Amino acid sequence: MMPEQRDSTRPMTHGKPLAGKVAIVTGGGSGIGRAIAIRFAEAGARVGVLNRSEPKTTEVVRVIEAAGGVALALVCDVTRSDQVVGAFRVAQDRFGPVDILVNSAGMTYVANVEHTSEEDLDRLYAVNVKGVYYCLKAAIPVMKGRGGAILNVASVASTIGLADRFAYSATKGAVLTMTYSIARDYIHDNIRCNCISPARIHTPLIDELLAKSYPGREAEMFDALSRTQPIGRMGRPEEVAELALFLCSDAAAFITGSNYAIDGGFVSLKMP
């Protein structure tokens, strides 16, 4: 049997590849999530911007609407299952069933196991693991029977050992393996689930981390961390958003259960 061929008469929506889609982006108030929410709106999606900070969330919605896009502020703490369910319900009432979920909400922590308290571990687990779980739990029943695309944001720390990232690595490793599990369990429901693993991306989170962990040495450490990428700089949130757009669009219809490093060569290239 010949493989199915694309109908060449069907129009391609290159300018608006997400036209008609409903997307929810967690952590959409800043950093990578913000860039993804804005890019998805530019691509034609109606975007639920989900974040726990109301000022940041409403600011992103204003940016999207000022550019002619459609967005909805969903103020929500992803560690609270009741709030997640409520936010998804509001988005569906306004826009219809969700087609795309991007789990970008997350937090980091710098410490080895000896300096990681139980409270620190629980705090990261609540956001980075249970937050993803709650959103998956809310989205998948809606996607079943219709299909959908899920993108989880992990980290290079999910596949390699980074110094002083014990709790962060553990939780991002869970995000990666949850991706594989979802992709396998729902492949016959036409639900695709992929993962991206950024290295260091210059976001407000990086600036906050440097200020907290290296007071007075922020500029020095920023340069040092930038040089750890073989490409010689940190990535930009907008670059991550372009990869996210591809993976959540129909152009990636044959891709599921995959993890994509976006890291300036951090994982695979060995520098002299």
Q: Catalytic site residues?
A: 168
How far is the C-alpha of 103 from the C-alpha of 153, rounded, in Å? 6
C-alpha distances out from residue 43 to 13, 39, 58, 106, 124, Å: 9, 6, 20, 24, 32
How far is the C-alpha of 78 from the C-alpha of 53, rounded, in Å? 11
User: Do the Cβ atoms of 105 and 51 come closer than 8 Å?
Assistant: yes
How far is the C-alpha of 45 from the C-alpha of 37, rounded, in Å? 9
From the centroid of its chain, how far is CA 47?
14
Name the H helices within the chain.
Answer: 31-42, 54-66, 81-95, 118-125, 131-143, 166-185, 204-213, 218-227, 237-248
Q: Could you tell me whether strands 148-153 and 100-103 are parallel, antiparallel, or unpaired per DSSP bridges?
A: parallel
Nearby residues of 247 by Cβ (< 8 Å), 6 or more positions away = 149, 151, 194, 196, 255, 260
How far is the C-alpha of 42 from the C-alpha of 133, rounded, in Å? 28
**Amino acid at site 29:** G
Using CA atoms in the order 195, 127, 238, 51, what is the torsion angle rounded to 10 degrees? 130
